[in-house]
Structure 1
Amino acid sequence: MTSPTDRIRPAVLVPRRVADLVARFDLTTAVPGPDAAAEVTAVASDNRAVAAGDLFVALPGARAHGAAFAADAVSRGAHAVLTDPAGADRLRDLTVPVLVTDDPRTLLGPVAAWVHGAPAERLTTFGITGTNGKTTTTYQLDHLLRSLGRRGGLVGTVETRSGDRVLPSRLTTPEASDLQAVLAAMCEDGVDSLSMEVSSHAIAMHRVDGVVYDVAGFTNLSQDHLDFHGDLPTYFAAKAELFTPARARRGVVVVDDAWGERMAAAATVSVETVRTTAPAPDSPAADWTVSEVVPHGTGSAFTLTRTDGLSLRTSTSLPGHFNVANAALAVVMVLASGVDPQDVVAALEAGDGLSARVPGRMEVVGPGGDGHPRVVVDFAHNTDALELALAALRPTTTGRLAVVFGATGDRDPGKRPAMGAAAVAGADVVVITDDDPHDEDAAAVRAAVRAGAEAARESAAAAGRTVTVTEVAPRGEAVRRAVLEAAGTDTVLVAGRGHETFQEVRGVDLELDDRVEARAALHARAERTPTA
């Protein structure tokens, strides 16, 4: 696991006077007041990540106020502290300047951007939001930009990449202070284009404040994260903020469903729309449409056509129609940034289409053949993603389609039965196991998923369709059993965790990588299979 001290920082830090910070952001000061000589060189909101010269931002939190950690931050070298009035009241004994604002959370990003010299303004920036597909679209964007000769930076769920430097990610979107430091480091590394996932949490919690994206993209919206947002309209509203002048200059929206159409209508920046499915009778025409989709190998070729007649044909190396939508979105976002269409066509040809391999996203860890099943690992961790992943694998599965999955503890319990029902609807063999239980009883989470699966299984049986439903824990054993029991013509989808390498159980991170478990099971299967 990464730690707060693993943050990327620029090598060259330019001092900023605290007095200028006070004046620029209209801050007040508490005892001892700003020293005229005081300077800061970076910003941190986690005391464990503070280095000499930092401004420590002490934020109010759900469990504790950041002011409780200010003394430790100063001992690590913080030159000043920014907090709210409640925090300032607790910091009368500090020997560094204490700066005060009513809501430091909303200033964290803009202050960090100012301290680091507005690095986002030196990059061409792409931000992708949506329930599913953010990671894949980000990788496809990065692949296309590099094919165009750009030096790419990437920020997302799997990793943060500054040119050729890679650091595993702790959050889909980093904290605002960390993000600005990463962008400054990218500028030092010669990065000129940024492809970035923008989660709804990040927007609601102001992690991307201080960045105005050149192009924002929207993939789709379905039930997820309602433990945080409460309901779908609030979840939608958080994502819709990305398509406002405060956060983006222009947008591209996939309008394959009503939520996409609603997003395009709600946007207050110029938006281009992309449609990859047949429109409803009352749907508005899209600016770009996808046609002539032809599956090949593990992916699909497709044609992308604009209303003025501009057309290009390319492909994605990932299976499923939803990955066609992700690829189309990536292409149109690059075009929307001002790149000449002929340059995009040439780059797609040179880069073999959208051929980026995305860790843990429809990742084939066992291709099948020679009496062994195909085994695929995917991050599908909600109902819609699970349905789409199974639908993508069904046409190329000659035997049974099996799925191993679970639901996350302490997260949106309402989706658990629906995930169980979706698994039964799409698979022939359903193995229910644990995802990340967190602090919740794992058996209770499995039971909620199984309730939905059993109800759907009974309905399937009444319709003459047989589906096997079992419950196996721990997760590693579930993966092993599914692979060992599969026939050579079967496909086994291991869903829910994708690239993740640790499972959180009651505050303890246990090593668990679905890809490693699947490969071990395939190896055990090969060893027990007699050779001719």
Structure 2
Amino acid sequence: MLLENLLESIEKKAVSQVKDLRIKGIKYDSREVVQGDLFVAIKGFQTDGHQYIENALENGAVAVVLEDETYCTDRYPWILVSDSRLSLAQLSAAFFDYPSRKFTLIGVTGTNGKTTTTNLIARILEDAGYKVGLIGTIHNRIGSRILPGERTTPESLDLQKLFREMTEEGVTHVVMEVSSPALDLHRVTGSEFDLAVFTNLTQDHLDYHKSMEDYYQAKAKLFLGLDSPHNVKPGDKYAIVNTDDLWGKRLLKEIKVKTISYGIEQGAFFRADQIKITPIGVSFLVDDRMINLKLTGKFNVYNSLAALAAVHALGIPLEKGIASLEKVTGIPGRFQLVEGSGDITVIVDYAHTPDSLENILATAREFAQRRIITVFGCGGNRDRTKRPLMGKAAARYSDFCIITSDNPRNEEPEAIIEDILSGLKEISFENYRVVVDRRQAITEALNLAEKGDIVIIAGKGHETYQEIKGKKYPFDDKQVAEEILSSLRRRS
């Protein structure tokens, strides 16, 4: 591709020596550069891509996009821009010929519920006969083909490449989780959405966003971009908004495209009534139609309403949406029952925010026969202010807590646990034990449990690793619980 043509997709401050240059690809990691690539130097949180320009050139880069003018030199062709991340997104979309224009793109954002909601929407669309691409926290998927994914929302270059692959395989609809850092860091810039879903906004990512207002503004970008002049896709754009959420109420007032509200409170267009929660599911009424889900919890009422509202905007009848939802038996790591737990109930959940932990524990409390024993920790190198709040949420609904490691990353697990304990101590909750080793913590919880008890293992859900000091070690909460339960059965 002629570089000059590609550069028409971005705003440039200055350009040097690019005339008649052709490129074969784009890279932002100098280690992946091959002969003929355009290298985009990004200033990251830990490393600065500008420091690796020489490596990229040695590996075959023919030109460099950069934002630090001290690296502008006559030794190589360069393009100076204001924001390399923004330019990477715009260049990637153009390089792959704007693939999101070739299918219906649905984005789901919010603190909690993104994974379940995207999976429910995908299931309804697939049952309606469409070929669906799914992008999210658990994995990426093209039809039934599972692809690995390292983060909730891929980097812009990787995302556009994945979109292109999806178009080549005949995908008609893509449903994706859109995280707030992804919106802030331009990972979805250049992606043209047809529909966006807002689930809720509660405390998380404040290590990154610094305030709830900043967090909200990042989320709002997805919705305010629906009618952007850069979104040239024909047809109506829709915003699906949970108006039981205070931030959702505000968002609804600020959106300029068509909207559909959902919730449990009066006034929502898609409203659930006569809700009944049991250990094995939840039933509720929508538009005089009863829904019987095999997913439980009030939070899954919201997730289901969001999915029904989204497909309604796409023209799928309510009856078909309900029929699909009633077939769904579970989402990995989302209030997932552990098999073989006998006369105790063991549940694994990804809950890693104060609100999500409170939601799953409140759900468990509704059908608990005896005690709730909660095993949880908090991630390292993330929002410290939510740790005492997690402790309070656990204490409020649990009879006993075992505080342990989550993904400590580069922090000391004991320091993270101290932050959690400050929340417990603030409300004088004393029914807890600290067990730093997560496997041992799960073992002790299952040993403590008696007939009728519920053991909640929270924080990691579907994850199959534990991240400690920069390394990922194999660890799967569900698998570990199953192994321990099996051992306990043999012993008895």
Same fold (TM over 0.5): yes
* Distance of 2:20 and 2:4 partners within structure 1: 6
* Distance of 1:521 and 1:440 partners within structure 2: 28
Over the matched positions of the two proteins, sequence identity in percent amounts to 34
Counterpart in 1 of 2:312?
335
Counterpart in 2 of 1:510?
473
Counterpart in 1 of 2:403?
432
Matches within 5 A, 1:381-400: 381-400=352-371
* Distance of 2:170 and 2:61 partners within structure 1: 29
Q: Secondary structure at the match of 1:447?
A: helix
* Distance of 2:334 and 2:138 partners within structure 1: 10
Instruction: Pick from 265, 284, 298 the counterpart of residue 253 of structure 2.
Output: 265
Instruction: Pick from 298, 307, 316 the counterpart of residue 321 of structure 1.
Output: 298
Instruction: Name the TM-score, length of structure 2 as normaliser.
Output: 0.93
Counterpart in 1 of 2:113?
133
Deviations 1:277-324 (A, max 9, x none): x34xxxxx222211132335622222223xxxxx54434332101111
RMSD: 2.1
Matches within 5 A, 1:330-479: 330-337=307-314, 339-341=315-317, 344-346=318-320, 348-349=322-323, 351=324, 353=326, 355=328, 357-366=330-339, 368-369=341-342, 371=343, 373-458=344-429, 468-479=431-442
* Distance of 2:354 and 2:99 partners within structure 1: 38
Contact 2:9-2:90 within 8 A present in 1 as well: no
**Change in 2 beyond 3 A, CA 1:121/1:315:** farther
Kindly provide the amino acid, as one letter, of the partner of residue 396 in structure 1.
F
Counterpart in 1 of 2:449?
486
Instruction: Name the TM-score, length of structure 1 as normaliser.
Output: 0.86
Determine if the alignment matches structure 1 residue 497 to structure 2 residue 485: no
**Change in 2 beyond 3 A, CA 1:513/1:402:** same
* Distance of 1:56 and 1:87 partners within structure 2: 16
* Distance of 1:324 and 1:232 partners within structure 2: 25
Residue ranges of structure 1 left out of the alignment (5+ in a row): 1-15, 280-284, 306-310, 459-466
Q: Secondary structure at the match of 1:259?
A: helix
Determine if the alignment matches structure 1 residue 522 to structure 2 residue 474: no
Q: Secondary structure at the match of 1:128?
A: strand
Task: After the TM superposition, list the runs of 4 or more consecutive aligned residues in structure 1 that deviate by more than 6 angstroms.
Answer: none
* Distance of 2:84 and 2:460 partners within structure 1: 34
Residue ranges of structure 2 left out of the alignment (5+ in a row): 232-236
Q: Which moved more, 1:117-126 or 1:73-82?
A: 73-82
Kindly provide the amino acid, as one letter, of the partner of residue 387 in structure 2.
R
Structure 1 position 352, deviation (Å): 5.4
Determine if the alignment matches structure 1 residue 208 to structure 2 residue 210: no
Structure 1 position 508, deviation (Å): 2.4
**Change in 2 beyond 3 A, CA 1:454/1:111:** same
Deviations 1:175-204 (A, max 9, x none): 111110010011111111111001111111
Counterpart in 1 of 2:18?
34
Deviations 1:31-75 (A, max 9, x none): 5x12515133x4322223435543321112344431222333344
Matches within 5 A, 1:156-235: 156-235=136-215
How many residue pairs get aligned? The number is 484
* Distance of 2:327 and 2:75 partners within structure 1: 57
**Change in 2 beyond 3 A, CA 1:518/1:52:** farther
* Distance of 2:34 and 2:302 partners within structure 1: 43
Counterpart in 1 of 2:276?
294
Deviations 1:486-508 (A, max 9, x none): 11321111001111122222222
* Distance of 1:498 and 1:406 partners within structure 2: 12
Contact 2:41-2:65 within 8 A present in 1 as well: yes
Counterpart in 2 of 1:118?
98
Structure 1 position 26, deviation (Å): 4.8
Contact 1:295-1:301 within 8 A present in 2 as well: yes
Counterpart in 1 of 2:234?
none
Deviations 1:312-354 (A, max 9, x none): 44343321011110111011111112x242xx523542x3526
* Distance of 1:23 and 1:261 partners within structure 2: 39
Instruction: Pick from 296, 300, 304 the counterpart of residue 286 of structure 2.
Output: 304
Kindly provide the amino acid, as one letter, of the partner of residue 36 in structure 1.
D
Q: Secondary structure at the match of 1:445?
A: helix
Kindly provide the amino acid, as one letter, of the partner of residue 302 in structure 2.
A
Q: Which moved more, 1:296-305 or 1:400-409?
A: 296-305
Instruction: Pick from 12, 15, 26 the counterpart of residue 43 of structure 1.
Output: 26
Structure 1 position 514, deviation (Å): 1.0
Kindly provide the amino acid, as one letter, of the partner of residue 269 in structure 1.
V
* Distance of 2:377 and 2:12 partners within structure 1: 48
**Change in 2 beyond 3 A, CA 1:416/1:21:** same
Structure 1 position 408, deviation (Å): 1.6
Contact 1:255-1:273 within 8 A present in 2 as well: yes
* Distance of 2:210 and 2:256 partners within structure 1: 24
Contact 1:131-1:222 within 8 A present in 2 as well: yes
Contact 1:255-1:274 within 8 A present in 2 as well: yes
**Change in 2 beyond 3 A, CA 1:213/1:375:** same
Structure 1 position 79, deviation (Å): 4.1
Structure 1 position 207, deviation (Å): 0.7
Counterpart in 2 of 1:282?
none
* Distance of 1:267 and 1:119 partners within structure 2: 25
* Distance of 2:329 and 2:34 partners within structure 1: 36
Structure 1 position 218, deviation (Å): 0.5
Kindly provide the amino acid, as one letter, of the partner of residue 256 in structure 1.
D
Q: Secondary structure at the match of 1:366?
A: coil
Contact 1:30-1:88 within 8 A present in 2 as well: no
